[in-house]
Amino acid sequence: MFRFGFNWINVVVFIIMIVAFYLFNSLSVRVSSDKILTAFGSGLIHKTIPFTRIKSAEKVRNKWYYGFGIRLIPGGQMYNVAGLDAIELKLTNGKIFRIGTDEPDKLLEVIQSQAEKK
């Protein structure tokens, strides 16, 4: 029959959901003179890519089934929070890294301007 009362499973699932939301609720992208830093939420999960490892950058549109979060995609990895627009970085090791963004043209312009200085 039905049991009413406190259920630890619900509490654990709720805590996991809160932690996941905290870690993945936003994606920040910072472009400095020598690197690109992408960080989810509070910055605990992040990736730094030096410009010396970037062969090229271009605006792309993700397939809807690539999803959101940290994903393995054909040829590399993707960080995305929302939307389908992204910047694809082709790295010197032959892999790709996609950064999901609401402003792909602006991000691409900043990346290309910093890369030209190198």
In a domain, 2, yes or no: no
In a domain, 81, yes or no: yes
Report yes or no on whether pTM surpasses 0.85. Answer: no
User: Does the pLDDT at position 107 exceed 90?
Assistant: yes
pLDDT for position 6: 72
Into how many domains does the chain fold?
Answer: 1
Helix count and strand count (H, E) for the chain: 2, 8
**Domain housing 98:** 8-116
Task: Tell me what the pLDDT averaged over the chain comes to.
Answer: 91
The model's pLDDT over 32-50, given as tens digits with 9 standing for 90+, comes to 999 999 999 888 899 999 9
**What is the pLDDT confidence band of residue 24, given thresholds at 50, 70 and 90?**
confident
Q: Which residues contact 55 (CB under 8 A, 6 or more apart)?
A: 90, 91, 92
The CATH number linked to 92 is 2.30.29.30
HSE of 75 in the Cβ direction (CA atoms, 13 Å)? 10
The model's pLDDT over 47-66, given as tens digits with 9 standing for 90+, comes to 999 999 999 999 999 999 99
User: Does the pLDDT at position 117 exceed 80?
Assistant: no
